[in-house]
Amino acid sequence: MHEMSLAEGIVDLIEEESRRQGFTRVLEVRVAVGELGGVEPEALQFCFDAVCRGTLADGARLTIERVPGQAWCMACARVVPLHERYGECPQCGGVELQLQAGDELRLLDLEVR
């Protein structure tokens, strides 16, 4: 499952941070998830809970911030909102779009102890 490997990636990042910062317990994790990344927040939540079991993030709260999709439209020469990965420009209907934002998964913030 896609979300399972993402959840494992988040826990890897947390463990990396804990080595750098020296915390031993994570209470809350905030991640940014792009709306075009094909990630189901509920599924990610579920996988995160499962992957965290027995780690320093066991029982941590996962807060998911949705990042809206954005693309650069060649025809309009501007950034336009995009809600589907291979969608059309909402301004001109063009398809020459370069994805700018919305398919990322980023660790934003950790509340630790």
43 vs 74 by CB, closer to Zn ion: 74
**Window 16-75: residues binding Zn ion (CB under 5 A):** 73, 75
- Closer CB to Zn ion, residue 10 or residue 80? 80
- Supply the minimum distance, in Å, between the C-beta of residue 97 and Zn ion: 8
Size of the site for Zn ion (CB under 5 A): 7
Query: Using an 8 Å Cβ cutoff, are 109 and 66 in contact?
Result: no
Q: Which of 102, 2, 107 shows the shortest CA–CA distance to 60?
A: 107
Smallest separation, CB 66 to Zn ion (Å): 23
Query: Residues in the site for Zn ion, rule: CB under 5 A?
Result: 73, 75-76, 89, 91-92, 94
